[in-house]
Structure 1
């Protein structure tokens, strides 16, 4: 076991511990510049999906809004509550500024990767499938099937297995600490909920996300707004502290600007997942008129995750008196929980437990679907999907019932680093294609189209599934 842990430790050092974070930022800046700052020029169009119905019944896909909410539900999780608290504890208030910065460049990366996933999506057994593995094999050719397989295996291991165990552990721990509920009962409840969801397929997963994600996001946003209104006179001071600490003008933790920069960038990337290729698996299933339409929508997902939800946690902490810069002791979800209690009273700990439950359920749905999508790329045997479903239910149960069980899944973060490397390589190799796709979208807008429509005939030289783009 020590040898295996050492092996994955080396992978972690060569990815997250070495140069991957700077590479993700550089790639994000590159995509931002060469696409003409798409995250800003298309910002107003991002919100169209929220009011559109976009019925996709009978087409094997889900609506653009459902794809957005499912990806938001996956991105929004423990990292938005506990991760932000850790970033502030280790990097000071300035870490929040760099989380905002990485989200802005990540919006362009997400648009690129999700647009490509849409372009190369396939209709398989009546369902829409897509994502980096399929983008690689259909965009780059069969010679790169090994690379696509590496991506698929890492996606199953890290998200469907490892991260789902962590989600079960987070919910059970919060329920035990605030409500006194034994871990076994939490484990049973989560296993039943997970089973009901995963056996419903992508449409049921999307329908559940369409209900619980707005509830959890709006409830958490409402709580943050209440805290902000209660402390409205302190907002200018907090904003000044965030900016000053971000640029080293004010040092509140060891490491100053370096600590703020490192923690903000790392936690921001872990939270919004831009560049990892995870969200494109969901984005590809959406029924939209043009691939770039869903790319724009997924940029909004990054914005909601970091600029909105993570900022809520940051203000709850920084406007309270629980957080003491440079002090050791309270961090993670406990810091967020105690900060919220200091603002509105003891009942807030129950509210946060409920929020964590909803966040975790949405993440479990998302993580499972990523695993299923990767598995269907590797195997067409339906039995393998049932095995994965049972395995995921078991992992959620195991993570919830045993406090130390998730320490076994030390491979999750290193494999997520491998996902990022493979995905970034594919994006760069396919950049001429995304440039061509964006040009088509922009030209239609310039010609007066209210909503550009994709014509497969214009891209007949590419390996595109025409059936996936044929209207019913």
Structure 2
């Protein structure tokens, strides 16, 4: 009876995935990324250096969370199983060409991430504890006057980040440690639940503090290992790049074909960098940006997409492709394939390193994912008492994901993030005039040699919940965003 029920659920999820990722989302994501890229004058390339400077500058403390803390928290959510197991799954399903499409969706997604994070800052509000909160649900309600849309997005995000993605992260941890050390998945699941519970009861500030400590260390160490593999196989790099491009367009035999590469690359790319999904915009709203202008946090989140996909995902792909493990992968897929690849290059000890890296990457993602979901729980229900129930449900899902099948977890995550992305992209397209005006204001001040500041009173299309967040008094007009 239970197996029949699971089979029905899997069939429904597979059908939704086929509809979303087979046609709708691929076109929506690419077209949205192209639109924002062209409309902003290729800002992700023109001002890439400026964005990188703001990430470093964001370390300076302000009231509340700094830009750098928020950057690390968003990277904690981004950098996880998608960068390691997700890359391996993409290559297994779509061939090496999937990496090309991951790169493309990230380059376009940098502009999309810029827009959604800027809007999150514009429409943020201050809660009873003095903490900034915001994100897609908030700009849907305040910018578009559509609370129902914000509520729909919140429900989808809670399902995706509170439940599906956390199950996927826990699944990757237990799978990696089981492969390396033979640790029972149930036992490891209980340990993850205990660690997660300890962090999330402290709220957003505790999550941000933990992320600021974990993320830089884990990223640097992992990239250092990948660089060693690259140097050891430097002569293979040109052939690997050619192989990726040929596979991307179906010109290489024994791959997933062009459509298989596109579907796998876009799906795994979005799962990893989250551009357009609206998730990172939740934490982007929590920052006190430096300079004190909404667009400055847009730059920071734009760089986050680049680091996630163009740097860390590429490192994982290099390890797999240069190791030659695809010639004889056996029955390995997901994180097991990456472990096998690194073991072939660096020796058996590297299996333990990958297991440790996965533990840090995925655990930091779990706690950051929770912070996104918490933000949307409080949008739906202002009472913080409901958080106790929600935290219990999150921990239960982490435990379930620790012992669930890999494919079911991934498919569930794909459906939930796909629906989230559709709702969010519709909203940021409708609010695009507001975003463009705010970004133009930032660029104008930079060209004048000024440190950008923001006065919401100068923008008659912006309605903030609280007048004291930005310098001017916000008007309540919403005409610009609804034209």
Same fold (TM over 0.5): yes
Displacement of 1:413 in angstroms is 2.7
How far did 1:344 drift?
0.6
Q: Which residue of 2 aligns with 1:246?
A: 248
User: Matches of 2:270 and 2:413 in 1, distance apart?
Assistant: 15
Match of 1:44 among 40, 49, 67: 49
| 2: CA distance, partners of 1:83 / 1:298 | 21
Aligned to 1:426: 427
Q: Per-residue CA shift, 1:120-141, capped at 9, x if unaligned? A: 0000112110010001000011
1:314 to 317, 320, 333: 317
Pairwise CA RMSD: 2.2
Specify the alignment match of 1:54 in structure 2. 60
Counterpart contact for 2:93–2:256, Cα < 8 Å: no
The structure 2 residue matched to 1:132, chosen from 114, 130, 136, is 136
Moved more, 405-414 or 223-232: 405-414
Other-structure match for 1:456: 456
Query: 1:74–1:467: structure 2 CA closer, same or farther, 3 Å change rule?
Result: same
2:231 paired with 1:229: yes
Q: In structure 2, do the counterparts of structure 1 residues 470 and 201 end up closer, same or farther at CA, with 3 Å as the change threshold? A: farther
Aligned to 1:436: 437
The gaps in structure 1 that reach 5 residues or longer are none
Residue 480 (structure 2) aligns with: none
SS at match of 1:467: coil
TM value normalised by structure 2:
0.90
Q: 1:405 to 1:346 in 2, by over 3 A?
A: closer
2: CA distance, partners of 1:245 / 1:91: 9
* CA distance 1:368–1:259, shift in 2 (3 Å): same
| Equivalent position to 1:63, from 45, 63, 66 | 66
Q: Give 2:352's aligned residue.
A: 350
* Cα distance change on mapping 1:447 and 1:281 into 2, 3 Å: same
CA 1:86–1:173: 2 relative to 1, 3 Å? closer
Q: Deviations over 1:433-458 (max 9, x none)?
A: 01111111111112112x31111221
Distance 2:141 2:186 in 1: 43
Measured in 1, the distance between the counterparts of 2:148 and 2:184 equals: 45
For the structure 1 residues 342 and 3, does the alpha-carbon distance in structure 2 shift closer, same or farther, using more than 3 Å as the test? closer
Residue equivalent to 2:470: 469
TM-score by length of 1: 0.92
Match in the other structure for 2:335: 333
Matches within 5 A, 1:147-186: 147-186=149-188
Match in the other structure for 1:107:
110
- Which segments of 5 or more consecutive residues in structure 2 lack a partner in the other structure? 473-483
Whole-angstrom CA distance in 2 between matches of 1:406 and 1:214: 30
CA contact (8 A) 1:399 1:406 kept: no
Aligned residue for 1:382, secondary structure, equals: coil
**CA separation in 2, counterparts of 1:425 and 1:85?**
31
Corresponding residue to 1:201 among 203, 221, 229? 203
Q: Pick one of 23, 35, 39 that aligns with 2:28.
A: 23
Task: Give the superposition deviation at 1:375.
Answer: 0.5
Q: State how far apart, in whole Å, the 2-side matches of 1:258 and 1:190 are.
A: 37
Contact 2:176-2:336 within 8 A present in 1 as well = no
Instruction: Measure, in 2, the Cα distance between the counterparts of 1:220 and 1:41.
Output: 29
**Secondary structure of the corresponding residue to residue 260 of structure 1:** helix
Secondary structure (helix, strand or coil) at the match of 2:214 reads: helix
Work out the CA distance in 2 between the residues paired with 1:136 and 1:85.
36
Map 1:368-383; keep pairs closer than 5 Å.
Answer: 368-383=370-385
2:439 and 2:47 mapped to 1: Cα distance? 11
Which of residues 302, 305, 317 is equivalent to 1:299?
Answer: 302
Residues 292-347 of structure 1 deviation map (CA, whole Å, 9 limit, x = unaligned): 1001100111101100011101110111121129x774332121111100101000
Partner of 2:212: 210
Alignment check: 8 A CA contact 2:169 2:366 kept = yes
Give the 3 Å change call, closer, same or farther, for CA 16–30 of structure 1 in structure 2: same
